[in-house]
Amino acid sequence: MPQPPQFSRIGLIGFGAFGRLIARHLSPLLPICVYDPVQTDERPRHPSLRFGSLAETAACPLVILAVPVGAMEPLCHTLAPLVRPGTWVLDVGSVKMAPADVMQRVLPPEVNLLGTHPLFGPESTRQGLAGQKIALCPLRGGRPLRLAAVLRHIFRLEVIWTTPEAHDRELATVQGLTHLIAQALNQVAPETLRMTTASFELMQQASRMVTGDAPGVLEAILRDNPFAADIRDSFLERAADLGRHPVTPRTQQSPPNAAGF
């Protein structure tokens, strides 16, 4: 199985919320060249991080595409003549089937491809990355085991090898429902409630974690995951039914109660 080189530097395309998170964690280890088409006032905070042209960034041996899923196809067309044979290109999108298809179709066959989905964001990693999960989908060039070892042993991430389809099926439930519930809850539940329960507070905490995500993330999850619509419909149907016919909970732990009155 081919192995990636010891990457000497990293090209990072996209300096939004997630690009910055990547830069913060990788820049202490390796030089990073960042390209973002949107002007930013932010100056690099780490000496090993600098802004470069798209060509310079694409010429790195490992190129990370931290752009919205909808921006992947035009970006890959622009990148195709700039990336070198043997380069590893990886994306970090919240869905994996669509970006995998784009990268495989558009980028030259001599380029190695890896789909990744870090299952965390700026909110959930305030205490650090350790223990968080990352899904890796090898697309071309085999499993980059050295990169996986870095993710495991340096960043203490749990690495989950999977395929784009298996990923999107699970995440349709995991992220699709979380974001759907979070957004709807934020819109109907005022923040001034006093009489809150522990379970409601956990749901509010979960909601706050994801409602700060970039709008592109929400769109990718609710619209670009091909399995999201079915899961969403099942959830909404069950929820609508419950109002009419409350059911016995699946896990019935209660002892007999005083219903005999």
Window contacting a copy of itself (CB under 8 A); options: 43-51, 83-91, 142-150, 166-174: 166-174
Q: In terms of CB distance, is 4 or 57 closer to a copy of itself?
A: 57
Q: Give the 3-state secondary structure percentages of the chain, helix then strand then coil, rounded to 5.
A: 45, 15, 45
| Residues 29-88, interacting with a copy of itself (CB under 8 A) | 36-38, 40, 42, 66-68, 70-71, 74-75, 78
Considering the complex, what minimum distance in angstroms separates the CB of residue 117 from a copy of itself?
8
Considering the complex, what minimum distance in angstroms separates the CB of residue 34 from a copy of itself?
11
For every residue of 150-161, DSSP letters joined together read: HHHHTS-PEEEE
The owner of tokens 């419950």 is 242
Distance from C-alpha of 101 to C-alpha of 82, rounded to nearest angstrom: 19
Q: In terms of CB distance, is 6 or 251 closer to a copy of itself?
A: 251
> Is there binding between residue 23 and a copy of itself (CB under 8 A)?
no
| Chosen residue from 180, 225, 226, 227 binding a copy of itself by CB under 8 A | 180
Q: Are 71 and 92 in contact (CB under 8 A)?
A: no
> If we measure between CA atoms, which residue out of 67, 68, 194, 134 comes closest to residue 144?
134
Q: In terms of CB distance, is 4 or 93 closer to a copy of itself?
A: 93
Q: In terms of CB distance, is 110 or 241 closer to a copy of itself?
A: 241
How many residues sit close enough to a copy of itself to count as binding (CB under 8 A)?
103
Q: In terms of CB distance, is 4 or 134 closer to a copy of itself?
A: 134
| Residues 87-146, interacting with a copy of itself (CB under 8 A) | 117, 119-120, 123-124, 132-133, 135
Considering the complex, what minimum distance in angstroms separates the CB of residue 196 from a copy of itself?
5
Number of H helices, E strands in the chain: 9, 8
Region of residue 142 (phi > 0: left; psi between -120 and 50: alpha; otherwise: beta): left
Considering the complex, what minimum distance in angstroms separates the CB of residue 150 from a copy of itself?
20
Burial of 144 (0-12, 13-18, 19+ CB in 10 A): buried
CA angle, residues 196, 197, 198, in degrees to nearest 5: 125
Residue 40: partners with Cβ closer than 8 Å, 6 or more residues away: 15
| Residues 187-246, interacting with a copy of itself (CB under 8 A) | 187-190, 193-200, 202-203, 205-216, 218-219, 222-223, 228-229, 231-232, 234-236, 238-240, 242-243, 246
Q: In terms of CB distance, is 139 or 228 closer to a copy of itself?
A: 228
